[in-house]
Amino acid sequence: MSLELKPKRWAGAIREVTLGSGSRRPVTVGGGNGLPLHTFEASFPHRPVFALEITDVAPPRWIDTVRQPWNGVLGQPAAAARRAVDEFGADLVMLHLMGTHPDRGNRSPDDAAADVRAVLESVRVPLIVKGPGAGPKQNDVLARVAEECQGEGLVLHSACQEEYKTLAAVAVAYGHVLVAESPIDMNIAKQLNILLSDASMDLRHTLIDPLTGGLGYGLEYTYSVMERIRLAALGGDAMLSSPMICLVGEEAWKAKEVKVSGGVHWEVATALTLIEAGAEVLVLRHPEALARLRKQVDCWFGGETCR
């Protein structure tokens, strides 16, 4: 006897968001109308996509395992971006402007804008730009970058509940996508999206970053919040139906365990869990993790039997 599955139909769906415009080859995410990976009952016009993280200055805290694939190009964003795309097959690149942080070099907004320009010239994929973190510098840097790269559909990472007005204004003014970051808290995720739409942001140009906890460091917490966000979105809550982005590499490679062994496994395990929870843009650090995840995702969505 065969088991008949009655497909679950939801009132809502995930919003489609296109990353990159202008001189970029755009990438669209979202659009699914069912729970993550429920390909047997829902349709998913776009698969999860993978970005590799590159940095404006040599990242002091990256451990050897994850530095190794980037030998020779660390802290050289244009060259690193080329390697990420041409050799490692990244769908997108995330340039983390860590050197603009007041305590880590304090590079100027103009330096940052020049770096972003250089990356835009070296690759054609959409670009995620991560600022130095909340505070006045974040706004100065990202606002300058946004203005410099008008019309490129950059993904600006990120606005938070306390500081969203400046970035919302520049995202609107210069045609970029804005990441709304909330501290593993569904209420704040929702409230921030309400605030952003109130500040004239079209939610078709926003992503939610629910804030990732790495495997062993709060992953299950992130998982359940993402699950909640997804369920609410599918239930019809438009303020939560933006696709989600997760900075996987950053969290996974922070774990103590990666120093002992298997850093790549750690990154892959974290990412797989997050994909199951609904992540659609995953930012990784190790190209091997990307390759393995890509295989898995292709296999899930390609309809072949997975082994």
Partner 1 sequence: MSKIIAEAAIRGAYACMNRAEAMLSEAIHRHGRAKSIAFPDTAYALPVILALVGKRVEKLGDLEEALQVARTWLPAPPTEKLWLPYLGGTLDAGAATLVAHEAVEAMKPRLAFDFWLGPTPDSILREQGIKLVDGRMPGFAACVGAAPSDEVAEQLARDLQERNILVFMGGNTGGETMAAQLNRRGVEMNWETFLVPYGPDTSSIVHALGFACRAAFTFGGLRPGGIKETREILLYNKRRVMAFVLALGEVDDEKYATAAGAINFGFPVIADTDIPEILPSGICTYEHVVANVAHRDMPSRAVEVRGVKIRTVEIPIPVRHGPAFEGERVRKEDVAVEFGGKYTRCFEYLTSRPMDRLQDGLIRVVGPEIADVPEGARLPLAIFVEVAGRKMQPEFESILERHIHSFLSEPMGVMHLGQRDSVWLRISKKARDAGFRIEHLGTVLLHKLRNDFPAIVDKVQVTLFTGSDDVEKLYPEAAAAYQHRDERMGALTDESVDIFYSCALCQSYAPNHVCIITPERLGLCGAYNWLDGKAAYEMNPHGGNLPVKKVEVVDPVLGQWKGINDFIQNASNGAFLKFSAYSMINDPMTSCGCFECIACILPGTGGIMIVDREFSGQTPVGMTFSSLAEMTGGGQQTPGFIGIGTLYILSKKFISADGGLARLVWTTTRVKQKLGDKLRQRCEEIGQPELYGKIADETICTELEPLIEHLAAVEHPALALGEMI
* Span interacting with partner 1, options 56-64, 100-108, 198-206, 293-301, rule CB under 8 A: 198-206
Of 206-235, which residues contact partner 1 (CB under 8 A)? 221, 224-225, 228, 231-232, 235
Minimal distance, residue 272 CB to partner 1, in Å: 23
Minimal distance, residue 169 CB to partner 1, in Å: 4
Tell me which amino acid residue 135 is: G
* Span interacting with partner 1, options 68-76, 94-102, 191-199, 258-266, rule CB under 8 A: 191-199
The smaller minimum CB distance to partner 1, of residues 74 and 169, is found at 169
Half-sphere exposure of 221 (CA within 13 A, CB side): 11
Q: Is there binding between residue 140 and partner 1 (CB under 8 A)?
A: no
Backbone Cα Rg of the chain: 18
**Taking every pair of C-alpha atoms in the chain, what is the biggest distance, in angstroms?**
68
Minimal distance, residue 277 CB to partner 1, in Å: 14
The smaller minimum CB distance to partner 1, of residues 276 and 288, is found at 276
Q: Is there binding between residue 194 and partner 1 (CB under 8 A)?
A: yes
Hey, how many other C-beta atoms are within 10 angstroms of the C-beta on 9? Answer: 10
Minimal distance, residue 239 CB to partner 1, in Å: 10
- When binding is defined by CB under 8 A, the residue of 93, 143, 233, 284 that contacts partner 1 is 143
The rounded distance, in Å, linking the Cα atoms of 155 and 55 is 15
Asked if the peptide bond before residue 158 counts as cis, ω within 30 degrees of 0, the response is yes
The rounded distance, in Å, linking the Cα atoms of 194 and 168 is 12
Q: Residue 256, SS3?
A: coil
Signed CA dihedral, 136, 55, 205, 270: sign only: negative
The rounded distance, in Å, linking the Cα atoms of 73 and 157 is 23
Q: Residue 197, SS3?
A: helix
Q: Is there binding between residue 98 and partner 1 (CB under 8 A)?
A: no
Q: Is there binding between residue 184 and partner 1 (CB under 8 A)?
A: yes
- When binding is defined by CB under 8 A, the residue of 102, 121, 135, 173 that contacts partner 1 is 173
Q: In this structure, what DSSP letter does residue 210 have?
A: -
The contact set with partner 1 (CB under 8 A) reads 139, 143, 147, 165-166, 168-170, 172-173, 184-188, 191, 194-195, 198, 200-202, 221, 224-225, 228, 231-232, 235
